[in-house]
Chains A and B, each alone.
Chain A
Amino acid sequence: MAASSPITLSRIETVAPDQASLKAARKLLNASKWPTMEHDAEMRLLWGACQGSGASAYSVTVEISDLGAKCSCPSRKFPCKHAIALMWWMAEQPERFSEGEIPQWVQDWQGRRRRTTPADAPKPSRAGKSAQAAAMAEPERPRDPEQARRQRERVRKARETSIRRGLEELDVWIGDQLDRGFGAFGPQASEQCRLMAQRLVDAKAGGIAAQVEALPALYFQTPEARRYDILLETLGALHLLAEAYRKQDELPDDLRAEVRTRVGWVMTREELLVSSDAPHVSATWTVCSTRSESQPDRLVRYETWLAARENGDLRTALLLDFVPASAASKSAPSLEPGARFEAELAYYPSATPLRAQIVTQGSVSAAPDMPSPPEDLPAALARYDDALTCNPWISQWPLACRDVHVARDGAGEHWVVSNDEEAAVPLAGDQASVLVGVKDVELVATFDGRWLTPLAANSALGPLWCTS
């Protein structure tokens, strides 16, 4: 029977995040743990219920064509051991699956997920998100709505309590770092941050956990002379976030939403679209840049930076997609730099709205240039300060300025973006040096407070669209 299975063990090996997941999945190849295992009539989808240690079984589904998977367990691995086990069952004993009607939750998931392959694939949605986020956001749906509501409320309260406990631990941990001194941070940075991040994940504060986990990389890639500042700023921001979370009821709605998101509460696309707090903006958007980055959790983070002229101002937006590294080459966002389209965007509620989802989108054409920024460099820097005042946790922030050029600083160390010597900001990124010697540049770049990294530019030589 195994020979006729549409899934092979080698395919499963390819998508498994690590050997431990395979080993864990093998332990689940026990029929008593799987009360249901079904497939649809066309053998495109598998789903089943896996009895874990909790009271209710995890709901697992797998799309056979690309082994995309979804599970209601809280694992950060993707695919989780339950999904791998379901694939494994199909690979070795497909006769154990019975044919059934596709459940609603499987249909919902399939409708939302970004398709990678076949010709019948619907238009990609912008609903990509981390497995962890997906798992948190979409618990299994019980049948009784009132029971479901009560269960959700119980889960929410338990999570609030858990997060607050985790944030208390974080404060203690930050205090320990201050006791030991920043000079002693380096040698144990990776291990200490990893353990703290794990505790925060256990406390269901995944957002702030990711910031702690990223700290060692940030620390070590920073020149030694600046490491003190990086630690001061990052640990200070983490404590400020914990404190803001504890006092969230005193915050304005948009800042409260920002704080909750940064701590780890995820708003799904569906929630965003019906949220009255989410600003909706319709405009002609231009894709300035796309960036991708592999994350430690084996997801690839895709950033798509958009800009549009709006009432004489330049509005920017960031679309984020997370896809498993194993499927990254096939699942990259379809929008390329230099594309232009009409669209309505819904911004996630925030003190400084930036991340957005596309609600409706028109056809795509090639943009002749980037939308022109209205401000010069000093004004753009002042605008960044305003944003930082509203939201002290912003990191890479879009900054747009006109009439600048790229020059070498006096010491010959950096390229800097300058506006007739009134202001000069160091320029980073692969594309920085191609602007050298080009006059009267209009630039959109991300700014971290010290470095500009170009997203796009206009010049007499035409537009520059950056990818990385």
Chain B
Amino acid sequence: MTAAHEGIEEIRLAARRALTLGVSRDPMAVPAWLASGDERADLLSLVSALGLRNRFERPVAPEQLDTFDAGYDAARMPPSASRLILCRLFAPKKKLYEENTLAMRTLDLLAARGLHLHPFDYPALRRLMAGDESVLDEHARTWLSRERPSDDGGPSFGQIIQENWTEFPPAVREDYIRRLRSSDPDGARALCEEALANDAATVRRKVLGALAVRLGASDVPYLESFAEDRAKSVRAVASSLLARIPGTAAYAERIDQAHEQITVQSAGIIGRKKVLLPKIPKGLAASREAEWVAETFADVNPSELAQRLGLAPKKFAESLGPTYLRDTFLLNALQAGDLEMAALIGAQLDARDASLFLMNHESELAGLGEPQRHATWGCFTNAFRGRSLHDACAVVQHLYTALRVPPPDGAVDASALERSWGKWARDAVADPERVDGYVPRVLIAFSGRQDRADWRARMQILAPSLTTDAFAIADLFDAVEAHPLP
């Protein structure tokens, strides 16, 4: 620094004050070494010099740095080619219609093989990761929580586990118990037994309601212990749960009540056909009928009701009148594990009815135990083997979204869908602009490995615009499935 520049810090400070207020109010003296006699030009030169001086300033290194080794395991990450496909399929600017379901399917496949997303792909796969955080590895969850803006300014709770679940807000606790019930019903109940007595009535009511998932005889003693609960709302939840467990007095009473609320009428030209109709209370608004039916017949086992009505299960299933009555008993059959009756009722649904049912009861179906979820695919076979392949694919998509288990082998195979595929493919070849890549993507994504190869061969006749993403999915899934199981 020359002698002429010695006062540079003083000049900068004075300039800051003058330039902030305005030099017309706080005139700024230009140092002699810069002065040329033209005041205006000198002022501009000084601003240029100070601005340039600023640009040579670098951030000061912090005294303390929080450094750590994340300990990533490169062996548990997908191969480069698969990463590339993943990033293309879930690119931020791309939005596939069935993206959420595809994200779930992809994450499930990766998780099943013990593979983690590569951390360098997190920004590109943000939407994929948001599809289901529960199957992500710890690094991915940490990154997501770090990136998520905390809009409410509330506390951050981190990951919920058995040791800390009581510290979370009631809604989070309820969700945790609900999820735990689907994998470990007794474990979830044990957590409630330990902690619930000390909670407020609102919390007890919410969390107790989550035990509805995979309810069984082993829950009876615990639920009966709420008979003396000090809160009426909690007692009501406990007794409604008891009424869903066969063998209890409440259950028998519930069947009686349901029997009284349903009527069998003759229909058809010669009156041989039967129709089951709910006895809707007089004066009830039409818009509330579905809600009333759902409440009145909730948890009523359709096979037992059929027996009371003196109808064979098949006849019962075929006689269910309004859609909402049929949907209620289908759900009840699935929740009770009565898969025979569920299949009989499910056979009455066409693809669109099935899609609607699945969308409306996603959370209830998600609460079924894993074996039931696997078996549920079989109840909708008719719906996804209808005439419209597009509608059939929608059923497959909604089934996976709700059940989160893959279809059984052969459910989505080419021979089973031969007729609808033939029609769809003819239309697609004749006019590729009229269809999009949804059908090929779904067929490939939800087929087993062998069926996938079969579909791929059949899809060679289609325009590349329809199959590019589908084949990318096939490549990705083949690569992932080739990875050894953990």
Contact = CB atoms under 8 A, between A and B. Distances in A.
Interface of A: 171, 174-175, 178-184, 228-229, 231-237, 239-240, 243, 381, 385, 388, 392, 405, 407-412, 416, 418, 421-426, 430-431, 433-434, 436-439, 449-450, 460-462, 464, 467
Interface string B123-140: 110000000000000010
Interface stretch (B55-63, B167-175, B245-253): B55-63
Contact of B20 (A171, A183, A392, A461): A183
B475 to A, nearest CB: 16
A460 B120 CA distance: 12
Interface stretch (B66-74, B207-215, B258-266, B351-359): B66-74
Nearest to A409: B62
A235 B61 contact: no
Contact of A236 (B22, B48, B59, B62): B48
Given A232-B15, A243-B44, A410-B66, 9 more contacts: A175-B40, A178-B43, A232-B54, A243-B45, A407-B66, A422-B61, A433-B147, A434-B119, A438-B72
B478 to A, nearest CB: 20
A428 to B, nearest CB: 12
Contact of B61 (A231, A237, A423): A423
Contact of A439 (B56, B69, B74, B77): B69
Interface string B72-115: 10100100100000000000000000000000000000000000
Given A174-B44, A180-B24, A385 B63 contact: no
B453 interface: no
B64 A178 contact: no
A181 B20 contact: yes
Contact of B43 (A175, A231, A434, A464): A175
B230 interface: no
A228 B68 contact: no
14 contacts: A178-B43, A181-B20, A232-B50, A232-B51, A233-B55, A405-B67, A409-B65, A410-B66, A416-B62, A424-B65, A433-B122, A449-B57, A461-B72, A461-B120
A177 B303 CA distance: 84
B52 A421 contact: no
A410 B62 contact: yes
A405 B68 CA distance: 9
B115 to A, nearest CB: 14
Interface residues of B, number: 51
A437 B120 CA distance: 12
Contacts of B62: 409-411, 416, 424
Interface string B5-25: 000000000011001111111
A421 B61 contact: yes
A58 to B, nearest CB: 36
Nearest first, the 3 A-B pairs at minimum CB distance are A236-B51, A437-B70, A181-B22
A410 B67 contact: no
B16 A418 contact: no
Nearest to A468: B123
A407 B65 contact: yes
Contacts of B66: 407-410, 412
A229 B54 contact: yes
Given A182-B20, A232-B54, A240 B67 contact: no
B19 to A, nearest CB: 5
A184 B61 contact: no
A243 to B, nearest CB: 7
Contacts of A181: 19-26
Interface string B21-57: 1111110000000000000100111011111101111
A438 B68 CA distance: 8
Contacts of B282: none
B143 A236 contact: no
A239 B52 CA distance: 11
B404 interface: no
B272 interface: no
B374 interface: no
B69 A437 contact: yes
B483 interface: no
A342 to B, nearest CB: 22
B92 to A, nearest CB: 9
A409 to B, nearest CB: 4
Given A228-B16, A407-B67, A460-B74, A171 B44 contact: yes
B168 to A, nearest CB: 24
Contacts of B50: 232, 236
A240 B15 CA distance: 18
Contacts of A240: 48, 51-52
B52 A462 contact: no
B315 interface: no
